[in-house]
Amino acid sequence: MKGFGSHMTFNYPSGTRVNKQTVQTKTTRSKGYGNRGATLENDLNVTNKFYVDSNRANIHKKPTPIQIVDVHYPRRSAAVITEAYFKQPSTTDYNGVYKEKYIDFEAKETKQNTRFPLSNIHDHQIEHMSSILHHGGISFFIIRFTTLDETYFVNLPFVLSYWENQNKGGRKSIPYDHIKENGHLIPLKYQTPVDYLSIIDRLFF
């Protein structure tokens, strides 16, 4: 598989298959009109680049963590990694600073259109994000329902209530209607395809 980018389905080193919901965050959306065709990750890269370039915020995607096993050093050319594995991230994908506030979030896509399955989220991510709140940062999810082409800003405390309820044996997903009602639809703009700072402005400043 040549010409490989950052979108992929893969297994973690344990050899266990990544569940379907997680993998969906990595698939490429089918092309269509308007914004369709771009993954949430691509849209966020464009948005964050515009924020940085226009001096509005400094927020970046972290590199994908890789476990390197073997490297070759051909003469007079770049070192080649010849054996490496994907590691499961221990934190979130995006962080940075906006108006003196620490920003830390995770972006998820789902093909479901009636609910967001909590299996998309890992224990250690919830732990990490709870810690961010404790230290006075702003932490949230950006959730895209790809078939509806709707992207929501979902604040961490709202997700935490469903997470804790799940741990007590409650439902394993957040209904779409609840996200529509309690989350915040993120406006799609040309220069900022996922203009989440407009929501942060409204909620926190």
Q: Which residue has the tokens 């010409």?
A: 3
Among 28, 90, 147, 161, binds a copy of itself (CB under 8 A): 90
Closest approach of a copy of itself to the CB of residue 85, in Å: 5
Nearest alpha-carbon partner for 35 in 196, 199, 201, 187: 187
Per CB under 8 A, 14 contacts a copy of itself: yes
Among 46, 50, 137, 160, binds a copy of itself (CB under 8 A): 137
Q: Which residues contact 18 (CB under 8 A, 6 or more apart)?
A: 9, 10, 11, 12
Cα gap 109→123, rounded to integer Å: 18
Tokens standing for 166? 């799940």
Q: Which among 20-28, 61-69, 163-171, 181-189 is the span making contact with a copy of itself, rule CB under 8 A?
A: 61-69
- 25-37 in b/e form (b: 16+ CB < 10 A) is beeebeeeeeeee
Q: Which among 1-9, 36-44, 169-177, 192-200 is the span making contact with a copy of itself, rule CB under 8 A?
A: 1-9
Nearest alpha-carbon partner for 109 in 44, 159, 58: 44
Per CB under 8 A, 2 contacts a copy of itself: yes
Per CB under 8 A, 119 contacts a copy of itself: no
- Positions touching a copy of itself (CB under 8 A) are 1-6, 8, 10-15, 52, 55, 57-58, 60, 62-66, 68-73, 76-87, 89-91, 95-102, 104, 128, 131-132, 134-137
